[in-house]
């Protein structure tokens, strides 16, 4: 499981296992490559899995933040990896932020031409909401969401020397956690407040656990990415000609299933797999079905 040198000289960790058909796996924000093992390892006999850890996570936690937005940086890293591995025709499994990265590659890097098959897991082709697209991130709640992101971004910018949560003074640390809790409640439609978050507000030793990213500079990088991301990939993904599968969480609050179905229907050679009990994380809420459907996708990729 080597590290690969990226265009800026940083070493990106890439988990590789299996043999056979190459399958590039692009994770969601906050994931590490090892978390795919339960779902993919049973298919390793016929598939060679290539799973990078994004900058700031897992084996790539040490990588420097480049002078690029997160999605552009991720695509540059993935494009470099494709070139170094000399991948020509291969399959892609892309989840959430990983799917945004894949669509960025379709729009700007001719990724579509290299694909044998594509699996798109619970993501919208357009993060922002406007008159042409009502199904972006958090849909009708996006204004509230962006206000929270803007407050988090401002707080982190004001505390640039702070590297981890414990570096913040108690007032700023408490405020950051409260803002993050408000974001979690927004996703959950304010019906359930996770016990861990409530406990963490009062117990400093637990506080770092509730943030998806431990380094505050990386947290700021990703927050600003979602705050300012205005790309529209609808046309790019609609041009896919390879067989494509869309995993859609019927109860997804982050990315409404109605919008995901519209996009899936725009891709000619596509099928939809609906996870009726799931929101944005079908691999957690319906792991047995998720594993089975991934196996079916890979079987059809052979």
Q: Say if residue 238's pLDDT is above 50.
A: yes
- If you average pLDDT over every residue of the chain, what do you get? 91
- Residues 46, 301: contact at Cβ < 8 Å? no
Tell me the fold of 3-126+231-301: Rossmann fold (3.40.50)
Site of tokens 């009726």:
276
With CA atoms as reference, report the closest residue to 270 among 279, 261, 283, 282: 261
How many CA atoms, within 13 angstroms, populate the side-chain half-sphere of residue 96? 17
Please, which residues have CB within 8 angstroms of residue 151's CB and are 6 or more apart in sequence? 179
pLDDT band, residue 180 (cuts 50/70/90): confident
Query: Do the Cβ atoms of 111 and 103 come closer than 8 Å?
Result: no
Mean pLDDT of 148-152: 95
Range of lowest pLDDT (3-17, 66-80, 189-203): 189-203
Residue-level pLDDT at 201: 63
Q: What is the mean pLDDT of residues 130-139?
A: 94
As a whole number of Å, the CA-based R_g of the chain is 19
Q: Of 196 and 164, which is predicted with more confidence?
A: 164
Distance CA 7, CA 39 (A): 31
Express as a percent the part of the chain with pLDDT over 90. Answer: 81
Residue 191 in this model has a pLDDT that exceeds 60:
no
Q: What is the DSSP string of 203-251?
A: -HHHHGGGSS-SBHHHHHHHHHHHHH---B-HHHHHT--S-EEEEEETT
pLDDT tens track for 1-57: 599 999 999 999 999 999 999 999 999 998 999 999 999 999 999 999 999 999 999
On whether the CB atoms of residues 59 and 68 are closer than 8 A, the answer is no
Residue 71 contacts residue 104 (beta carbons within 8 Å): yes
- pLDDT tens for residues 109-123? 999 999 999 999 999
Query: What residue spans in the chain does CATH classification 3.40.50.1820 cover?
Result: 3-126+231-301
Task: Flag whether pLDDT at 217 surpasses 70.
Answer: yes
pLDDT tier at 189 (50, 70, 90 boundaries)?
Answer: very low
Candidate from 55-59, 68-72, 112-116, 198-202 with smallest mean pLDDT: 198-202
Q: Would you list the DSSP string of 33-59?
A: GGGGHHHHGGGTTTEEEEEEPPTTSGG
């Amino acid at each position: 499981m080597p590290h690969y040198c990226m265009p800026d000289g940083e070493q990106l960790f890439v988990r590789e296992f299996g043999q056979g058909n190459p399958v590039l796996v692009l994770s969601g924000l906050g994931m590490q490559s090892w978390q795919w093992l339960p779902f993919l390892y049973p298919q390793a006999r016929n598939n060679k899995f290539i799973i990078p850890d994004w900058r700031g996570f897992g084996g790539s936690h040490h990588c420097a933040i480049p002078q690029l937005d997160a999605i552009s940086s991720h695509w540059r890293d993935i494009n470099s990896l494709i070139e170094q591995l000399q991948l020509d025709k291969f399959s892609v499994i892309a989840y959430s932020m990983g799917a945004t990265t894949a669509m960025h590659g379709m729009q700007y890097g001719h990724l579509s031409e290299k694909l044998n098959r594509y699996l798109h897991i619970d993501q919208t082709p357009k993060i922002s909401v406007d008159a042409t697209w009502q199904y972006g991130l958090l849909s009708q709640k996006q204004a509230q969401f962006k206000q929270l992101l803007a407050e988090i971004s401002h707080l982190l910018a004001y505390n640039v020397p702070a590297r981890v949560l414990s570096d913040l003074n108690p007032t700023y640390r408490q405020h950051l956690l409260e803002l993050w809790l408000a974001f979690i409640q927004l996703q959950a439609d304010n019906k359930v407040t996770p016990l861990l978050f409530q406990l963490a507000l009062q117990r400093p030793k637990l506080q770092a656990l509730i943030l998806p990213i431990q380094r505050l500079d990386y947290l700021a990088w990703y927050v600003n990415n979602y705050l300012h991301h205005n790309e529209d990939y609808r046309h790019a993904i609609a041009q896919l000609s390879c067989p494509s599968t869309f995993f859609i969480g019927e109860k997804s609050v982050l990315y409404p299933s109605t919008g995901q179905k519209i996009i899936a229907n725009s891709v000619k050679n596509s099928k939809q797999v609906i996870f009726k009990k799931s929101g944005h994380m079908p691999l957690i809420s319906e792991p047995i079905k998720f594993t089975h459907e991934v196996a079916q996708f890979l079987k059809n990729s052979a």
